[in-house]
Amino acid sequence: MHAQRETAISSTKKLCILVLLVMLTAGFSAAAERPAAKNVILMISDGAGFNTFIAASYYQHGELGKQVVDGFPAKFACTTTTLEDDGTPQQYDPQARWGDFGWVMKHGLTNSAAAATALYTGRKVKGAPIAMESRKPLITIGEIAKARGKSVGDVTTVYFSDATPGALAAHSISRVNRAEIANEMINGDTLDVLMGCGSQEYDQNGKERPADARKNYQRVGGKETLDALKAGTAGGRSPWTFIQTKADFEKLAEDPAPPRRVMGLPQCGDTLQDDRDGDRNADPFVVPLNTTVPSLATMARGALNVLSRNPRGFFLMLEGGAVDQANHDNHAGRMIEEQVDFMNAVEAVVQWVDAHSSWDETLVIITADHETGFVWGPNAGAATDAHPVSWDPIQNHGKGNMPGCKYFSKDHTGALVPLFAKGRGSELFDRLVKGADPVYGRYVDNTDVFKVMNAEMGTGDLETPAAAGTTPSAATQPEPVLSR
């Protein structure tokens, strides 16, 4: 049984990763001397563009400027482009973007696998590989953190073998190889905390499924892997402590002596909340939430409690994964539910840093992997003979009320996404600015997220923009704004 589970992690793949990690840590001995962050926390709202943040702010606060990220000192826009067919990086064109309403629906498109790979490895890839390039594994920031002696956590509100969480600690030629990805995450040595959905024993409403309805275990690595997790034997040399109930997640957040390694699989289907039954076009929170699952904030607190026991620090990725699903489905009410849940988790992280760490030793980065749905105000639209392009903003209808918005796509777009950073090393993004957007201000690239995190691991130096002297200065370029 043990050998079967280990087959998903080939010995060749392990050897490649080990050799690359040795080269990495050896090659940056000088960089390792620079003061580095003890803890790095990356939070990804999957599929959330600027207007997703705006809509949630209007609903939650009744105005802009009240979200916890509004107090972060580093505010940028971020490009999420992938590669052209010839392998060259796609370019963001601010003038074309704002001159043509449909431009971002045709240019700069990516997917979560390629975008997550760029965020975690600093490498642009094409297609849907998981931390791989030309069938060779790429070293992820999670593996770098582990090589530095840090603990590593991977937490999501969707199934844990999905592209964004999967790419942190697994390597596959395709994101669809879910059993392979799940088994590498579970049976590999990178992760100390793994939390996410995908159980086949419970449905989308948190109700236990009959035994004959439990048919697809691939997202958790197969039934054998799930059985091993429940028996406490999965995880190789260091088996996981396995938790499932909401009470277990809540207890973990307060446990004064938590387990060293925790795998949390909530009692639900593929998402905590977004898939639940009820009118999916209803206003936010009209359909009662599942009551048997934790929130992302609760999972964040539990993960932080476990990881922070390591005196060398940790790396933690937290994903609001179902924002993307709601935007794909054009369900604005559920998009706001998921984004509010994500922002509550951001607040929980900030509270943890204030209470248990400090901004001198912890770096927090908030961003998205790409924008989905191209959501704007209800009167937005392409130019006609009678009217120019309309960039009608999201309409504020007051706190607790559904804001006025409209979807113009069911897919990913090449629109810029927000990036906020606070804490040790957050100022490094200033050195990586690629240009200035007339609406959202200075922008960096998603590969720059890796560069900053890698530098704060003490294993890499920042790359400055190729055209020296052309980077817009902070004094002359606006910060990102949340509406036009």
Q: What is the pLDDT of residues 143-157, one digit of tens each?
A: 999 999 999 999 999
Query: pLDDT category, 14, cuts 50, 70, 90?
Result: low
At residue 301, φ and ψ (nearest 5 deg) are -65, -40
pLDDT at 1: 43
Beta strands, E only, 321-394: 362-367, 371-372, 375-376
Say if CB 160 and CB 185 are below 8 A apart.
yes
Q: Give residues with Cβ within 8 angstroms of 82, minimum separation 6.
A: 89, 90, 108, 109, 110, 111, 114, 115, 118, 124, 125, 126
Q: Domain extents for the chain?
A: 2-456
Burial 438-457 (b: 16+ CB within 10 A, else e): ebbbbbbbbbbbbbbbbbbb
pLDDT at 469: 31
Mind listing the pLDDT tens digit for each residue in 365-422?
Answer: 999 999 999 999 999 999 998 889 999 999 999 999 999 999 999 999 999 999 999 9
Give the helix/strand (H/E) hosting 194: strand 193-197
Mind listing the pLDDT tens digit for each residue in 323-375?
Answer: 999 999 999 999 999 999 999 999 999 999 999 999 999 999 999 999 999 99
Q: Give residues with Cβ within 8 angstroms of 401, minimum separation 6.
A: 59, 283
pLDDT at 235: 86
Q: Cα(364)–Cα(295) distance, rounded to whole angstroms?
A: 20
> How far lies 404's CA from each of 58, 175, 315, in Å?
10, 35, 38
Beta strands, E only, 93-182: 132-133, 136-137, 151-159
For the chain, give the mean pLDDT: 90
| Fold annotation for 2-456 | Alkaline Phosphatase, subunit A (3.40.720)
> How far lies 177's CA from each of 8, 170, 184, 191, in Å?
10, 11, 11, 19
